[in-house]
């Protein structure tokens, strides 16, 4: 099969080259259409229920992605409350309001919000907190005194110690946040104050990540190519021989990325790693082919014949190692996370492309080389091999390693068991956690900003609890039934009001909510009163009263009881310390109530009745920013939102908040019919993290089973199949065990790696077992002699391969972003470890029962 294919390609080398070039050009042309996507929200599909809810909540309450800008002054005794800092704060606020894409009316800063206070006895004042830049320290002190009386702003717009002030900058869309952040930085530079300024917030982190992702792709991928090139040059000492795999790798990477982009997929953090994954994988198989070719070729041989033999022998292992790798990546399709699916799917495609090129392009390339070149290459290669053999003779490290487990299998197996026990313990210690801010290195300015601002303020990470009053429709139905009774009563008096009523009912149908509909109905009835016959007036008045009362009843979050419950929840969460701070309608109403009544803390309470709440709110609606109200409650007052500020974006922190809320709700049930839902970026991160852990377990399980079945089919032996899976199982267990022990969080990159490393690292076992079987035939059934033979050239090839792959991932260490570094370290160590474990553990198990494992080919000694 391999031979036929190789001959076919070698006879049509021009056609093969043309086809490869055409493919690369056609797909590569798509690459300029690249679209970057760094939104962690996209870790969930657009239809995922939590994401849909999250977006509904944002929409309902007019919530936007926000950049957080912090201003810190530790020099002045009054912190930022000095004329210069406040003037800078004022100027910065005004400048940001003018920026294109900033939603100025929702921007929050001390220079953009209201101060509500008593201005003299019996006088309430709504005025800008900082109406104009203060000129004296007295004015600055007055601003400080004012803001300290406003609980909604304490810890949010100003730090408790007064040393820091914050601006929350809402954006029309998060993909402009990097630009806005740059514009803010340039304004800050022109402010001329000594204060420190920091910019953070999830959208900046994401957008910045996108920018640096490009850098990573531009640096790490070519660097990986270079490193692999150098490593191969060291091993093979022949430029022409090494160039072929490099061309193959480039063709694979360009085609795969071109196809991905051409099919309209965005390049997400996951798919940006495709080039660096594909490069070493693509190279490996061709390395096997070429080294085998170099090994066999003698000057004067017909390269076509030699290559034919090589492909004949290697077709099966090359095919199977490629397929197992593809399966490992394909298993990612079973995860519920779209970017991970895209990543898995396209790498599999790339692996198949690399496989086809190895089978077709490499033979065609080789026979197109000049004879002298081939001769020189073969000569050099053999000299190197001989030198290696000489160096390793008997005393060689590999050789010793090979004999030890065969002699003392019990010891090795005992060691394996010990490692597994420790690993299982370690795995139990694994902390599942992620935080997109931590994707930046510790010295990155976003990390620094994150640290500074979250130390000083209640938190720059947001989550929302959406409270919803249910049963409104039933209330309306009930109202209609009771109005029906009034209509019946009128009918008994000989007044037919029914058609007028049903006309009005129909006319009100377009309203946005049941409450709006009842409000419209009240208007229509009110209008109708003018035309109604005098006898009907009283009935219509009664119906109007019923409708009004019904409407009032729908306005759940005007009830002091509802607000009080939200307040208790907030206080509970703040007291237990799981959140930095929470703001809700209750805080707003209490503040306004206090200033309306006396301005004293004892009046920082909710009004006793719903009408009192409504009138307090009406008063607030005459302030500078009446629309802030709708960030906390819907216009029909059937839903409310509590804004939680979290000092950390760790999923574990979010998870603790969710637990705390669940416990509180269990102990203190909300008002009847009120339901809770979650939203906010930090919560969404928690959701996809949860889906990922589960999804990855699935992927790992399914990849394991498929690869196992493939191994059994390849070796036509259940035992050998299981044996082939053993080294990588031990490796993955050990690496995750170590991760748990050293406290590295199980995050997105780590999770994705588990199943795909399975497909990669099984290659070593395939080669080892395949070569051992061949050697067994060669030496006539003496398994120990066969083992010695395997630990010569084949073992070196395996180690060489592992080194190429491991080294190929190392340039990721130079990446500016942590996930790439994690992937680099993790994969390099998995590759290296699993190669060693294959060479160390397989002989031990084989030595236990050679005949049982290797079959009849083993002669008893």
Partner 1 sequence: MNLLKITSGLVGGFALLMSGSLVLAAPPVSEIIERANQASYYAGRDGRSEARMRIEDNRGRTQTRQFSVLRKNVEGSDEQKYLVVFSRPSEFRGTVFLVHKNPAADDDRWLYLPDLDLVRRIAPGDKRTSFVGAHIFYEDISGRNLNEDRHELLEETDQHYVLKSTPKAPGSVEFASFQTWIDKETFLPVRIEYTNAVGEVYRIMENANIEVVDGYPTPMMMRVQDLQSGGNTVVQFRGVSYDLGIPDAVFTERSLRNPPAEWLDRR
Cα–Cα nearest to 334, from 691, 689, 683, 684: 691
Residue ranges in 550-589 that form contacts with partner 1 under rule CB under 8 A: 551-552, 555, 558
Please identify, using beta-carbon distances, which residue of 194 and 549 lies nearer to partner 1.
549
Find the shortest distance in angstroms from Cβ 615 to partner 1.
Answer: 4
Find the shortest distance in angstroms from Cβ 125 to partner 1.
Answer: 3
Distance CA 394, CA 476 (A): 91
Residue-wise DSSP of 205-259: HHHHHHHHHHHHHHHHHHHHHHHHHHHHHHHH--HHHHHHHHHHHHHHHHHHHHH
Query: According to the binding rule CB under 8 A, does residue 634 interact with partner 1?
Result: yes
Binding segment toward partner 1, per CB under 8 A, in 149-157, 449-457, 469-477, 634-642: 634-642
- From 383, 609, 663, 859, residue interacting with partner 1 (rule: CB under 8 A): 609
Q: Give yes or no for a contact between 740 and 433, defined as CB atoms under 8 angstroms apart.
A: no
Binding segment toward partner 1, per CB under 8 A, in 214-222, 467-475, 508-516, 810-818: 508-516
Please identify, using beta-carbon distances, which residue of 32 and 120 lies nearer to partner 1.
120
Query: According to the binding rule CB under 8 A, does residue 610 interact with partner 1?
Result: yes
- From 31, 34, 127, 146, residue interacting with partner 1 (rule: CB under 8 A): 127
Please identify, using beta-carbon distances, which residue of 91 and 815 lies nearer to partner 1.
91
Please identify, using beta-carbon distances, which residue of 163 and 554 lies nearer to partner 1.
554
Residue 493, helix vs strand vs coil: coil
Please identify, using beta-carbon distances, which residue of 522 and 644 lies nearer to partner 1.
522
Which sign does the torsion angle of CA 271, 277, 279, 281 carry?
Answer: negative
Please identify, using beta-carbon distances, which residue of 105 and 393 lies nearer to partner 1.
105
521: Cβ contacts below 8 Å, ≥ 6 apart: 504, 505, 508, 547
Find the shortest distance in angstroms from Cβ 550 to partner 1.
Answer: 11
Q: How many residues bind partner 1 (CB under 8 A)?
A: 51
Find the shortest distance in angstroms from Cβ 554 to partner 1.
Answer: 11
- From 126, 265, 320, 704, residue interacting with partner 1 (rule: CB under 8 A): 126
Distance CA 737, CA 53 (A): 37
- From 636, 745, 763, 792, residue interacting with partner 1 (rule: CB under 8 A): 636
Residue ranges in 84-103 that form contacts with partner 1 under rule CB under 8 A: 98
Please identify, using beta-carbon distances, which residue of 201 and 515 lies nearer to partner 1.
515
Binding segment toward partner 1, per CB under 8 A, in 9-17, 34-42, 577-585, 613-621: 613-621
Find the shortest distance in angstroms from Cβ 622 to partner 1.
Answer: 6
Query: According to the binding rule CB under 8 A, does residue 626 interact with partner 1?
Result: yes
Binding segment toward partner 1, per CB under 8 A, in 309-317, 378-386, 617-625, 693-701: 617-625
- From 32, 47, 49, 123, residue interacting with partner 1 (rule: CB under 8 A): 123
Query: According to the binding rule CB under 8 A, does residue 635 interact with partner 1?
Result: yes
Cα–Cα nearest to 283, from 233, 255, 249, 236: 249
730: Cβ contacts below 8 Å, ≥ 6 apart: 416, 419, 420, 837, 841
- From 34, 99, 124, 413, residue interacting with partner 1 (rule: CB under 8 A): 124
35 CB-contact burial (10 Å; exposed 0-12 / middle 13-18 / buried 19+)? exposed
- From 25, 35, 105, 713, residue interacting with partner 1 (rule: CB under 8 A): 105
Q: At what angle do helices 681-715 and 49-60 cross, to 10 degrees?
A: 160
Find the shortest distance in angstroms from Cβ 670 to partner 1.
Answer: 22
Residue ranges in 525-554 that form contacts with partner 1 under rule CB under 8 A: 526, 548-549, 551-552
Question: One symbol per residue from 366 to 405: x for binding partner 1 (CB under 8 A), - otherwise; what is it?
Answer: ----------------------------------------
Residue 178, helix vs strand vs coil: helix
Both structure tokens of 593: 């109530």
Residue-wise DSSP of 357-424: HHHHHHHHHHHHS-HHHHHHHHHHHHHHHHHHHHHHTTT-HHHHHHHHHHH-HHHHHHHHHHHHHHHH
Query: According to the binding rule CB under 8 A, does residue 145 interact with partner 1?
Result: no
Backbone angles phi, psi at 200, to 5 degrees: -150, -160
Distance CA 258, CA 32 (A): 9
Query: According to the binding rule CB under 8 A, does residue 614 interact with partner 1?
Result: yes
Please identify, using beta-carbon distances, which residue of 443 and 506 lies nearer to partner 1.
506
Query: According to the binding rule CB under 8 A, does residue 149 interact with partner 1?
Result: no
Cα–Cα nearest to 50, from 684, 681, 642, 660: 684
Could you say which DSSP state residue 815 is in? -
Find the shortest distance in angstroms from Cβ 138 to partner 1.
Answer: 20
Q: How many CB atoms lie within 10 A of CB 545?
A: 13
Query: According to the binding rule CB under 8 A, does residue 616 interact with partner 1?
Result: yes
Query: According to the binding rule CB under 8 A, does residue 607 interact with partner 1?
Result: yes
Distance CA 754, CA 794 (A): 27
256: Cβ contacts below 8 Å, ≥ 6 apart: 27, 274, 278, 346, 347, 349, 350, 353
Could you say which DSSP state residue 307 is in? H
Residues that bind partner 1 (CB under 8 A): 98, 105, 119-120, 122-128, 510-513, 516, 519-520, 522-523, 526, 548-549, 551-552, 555, 558, 593, 596-597, 607, 609-612, 614-616, 618-619, 621-624, 626-627, 629-630, 634-636
């Amino acid at each position: 099969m391999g031979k036929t294919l190789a001959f076919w390609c070698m006879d049509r080398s021009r056609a093969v080259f043309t086809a490869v070039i055409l493919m690369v050009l056609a797909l590569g042309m798509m690459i300029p259409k690249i679209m970057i996507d760094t939104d962690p929200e996209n870790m969930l599909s657009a239809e995922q229920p939590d994401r849909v809810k999250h977006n509904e909540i944002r929409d309902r309450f007019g919530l936007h992605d926000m950049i957080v800008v912090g201003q810190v002054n530790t020099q002045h005794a009054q912190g930022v409350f000095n004329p210069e800092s406040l003037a800078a704060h004022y100027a910065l606020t005004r400048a940001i309001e003018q920026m294109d894409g900033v939603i100025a009316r929702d921007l929050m800063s001390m220079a953009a919000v209201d101060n509500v206070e008593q201005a003299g006895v019996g006088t309430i004042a709504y005025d800008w907190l900082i109406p104009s830049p203060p000129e004296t320290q007295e004015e600055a002190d007055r601003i400080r005194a004012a803001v300290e009386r406003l609980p909604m702003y304490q810890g949010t717009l100003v730090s408790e110690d007064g040393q820091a002030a914050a601006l929350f900058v809402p954006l029309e869309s998060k993909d402009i946040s990097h630009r806005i952040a740059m514009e803010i930085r340039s304004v800050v530079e022109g402010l001329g104050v000594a204060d420190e300024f920091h910019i953070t917030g999830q959208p900046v982190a994401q957008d910045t990540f996108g920018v640096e992702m490009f850098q990573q792709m531009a640096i790490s991928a070519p660097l990986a190519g270079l490193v692999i090139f150098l490593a191969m040059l060291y091993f093979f000492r022949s430029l022409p021989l090494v160039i072929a795999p490099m061309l193959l790798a480039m063709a694979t990477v360009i085609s795969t990325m071109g196809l991905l982009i051409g099919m309209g997929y965005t390049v997400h953090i996951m798919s940006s790693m495709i080039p660096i994954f594909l490069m070493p994988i693509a190279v490996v198989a061709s390395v096997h082919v070429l080294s085998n070719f170099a090994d066999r070729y003698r000057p004067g041989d017909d390269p076509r014949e030699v290559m034919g033999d090589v492909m004949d022998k290697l077709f099966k292992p090359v095919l199977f190692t490629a397929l197992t790798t593809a399966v490992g990546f394909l298993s990612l399709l079973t995860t519920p996370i779209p970017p991970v699916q895209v990543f898995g799917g396209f790498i599999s495609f790339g692996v198949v492309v690399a496989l086809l090129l190895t089978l077709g392009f490499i033979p065609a390339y080789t026979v197109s080389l000049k004879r002298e070149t081939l001769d020189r290459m073969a000569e050099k290669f053999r000299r190197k091999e001989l030198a290696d053999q000489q160096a390793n003779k008997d005393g060689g490290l590999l050789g010793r390693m090979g004999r030890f487990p065969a002699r003392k299998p019990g010891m090795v197996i005992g060691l394996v068991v010990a490692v597994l026990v420790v690993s299982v313990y370690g795995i139990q210690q694994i902390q599942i956690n992620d935080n997109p801010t931590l994707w930046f290195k510790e010295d990155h300015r976003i990390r620094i900003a994150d640290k500074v601002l979250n130390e000083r303020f209640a938190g720059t990470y947001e989550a929302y609890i959406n409270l919803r009053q249910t049963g409104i429709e039933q209330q309306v139905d009930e109202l209609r039934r009771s109005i029906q009774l009034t209509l019946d009563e009128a009918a008994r008096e000989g007044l037919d009001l029914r058609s007028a009523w049903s006309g009005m009912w129909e006319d009100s149908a377009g309203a946005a909510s049941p409450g709006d509909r009842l409000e419209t109905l009240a208007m229509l009835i009110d209008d109708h009163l003018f035309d109604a016959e005098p006898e009907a007036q009283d009935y219509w008045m009664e119906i109007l009263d019923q409708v009004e009362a019904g409407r009032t009843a729908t306005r759940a979050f005007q009830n002091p009881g509802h607000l009080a419950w939200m307040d208790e929840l907030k206080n509970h969460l703040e007291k237990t310390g799981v959140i930095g701070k929470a703001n809700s309608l209750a805080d707003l109403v209490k503040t306004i109530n206090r200033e309306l009544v006396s301005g004293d803390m004892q009046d920082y309470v909710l009004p006793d009745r719903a009408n009192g709440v409504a009138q307090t709110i009406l008063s607030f609606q005459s302030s500078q920013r009446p629309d802030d109200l709708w960030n906390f409650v819907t216009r029909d007052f059937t839903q409310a939102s509590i804004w939680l500020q979290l000092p950390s974006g760790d999923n574990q922190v979010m998870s603790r908040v969710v637990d705390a809320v669940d416990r509180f709700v269990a102990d203190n049930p909300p008002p009847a019919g009120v339901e809770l839902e979650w939203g906010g970026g930090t919560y969404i991160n928690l959701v996809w993290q949860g889906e990922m852990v589960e999804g990855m377990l699935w992927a790992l399980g399914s990849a394991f089973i498929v690869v196992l079945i493939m191994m059994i089919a390849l070796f036509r032996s259940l035992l050998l199949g299981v044996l082939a899976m053993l080294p990588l199982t031990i490796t993955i267990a050990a690496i995750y065990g170590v991760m748990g022990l050293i406290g590295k969080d199980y995050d997105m990159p780590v999770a994705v790696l588990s199943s795909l490393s399975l497909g990669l690292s099984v290659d070593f076992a395939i080669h080892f077992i395949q070569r051992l079987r061949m050697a067994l035939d060669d030496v006539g059934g003496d398994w120990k002699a066969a083992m010695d033979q395997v630990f010569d050239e084949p073992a070196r090839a395996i180690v060489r391969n592992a080194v190429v792959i491991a080294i190929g991932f190392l340039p990721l260490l130079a990446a500016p972003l942590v996930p790439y570094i994690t992937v680099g370290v993790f994969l390099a160590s998995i590759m290296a470890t699993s190669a060693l474990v294959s060479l160390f553990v397989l002989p031990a198990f084989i030595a236990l029962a050679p005949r049982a494992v290797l079959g009849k080919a083993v002669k008893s000694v």
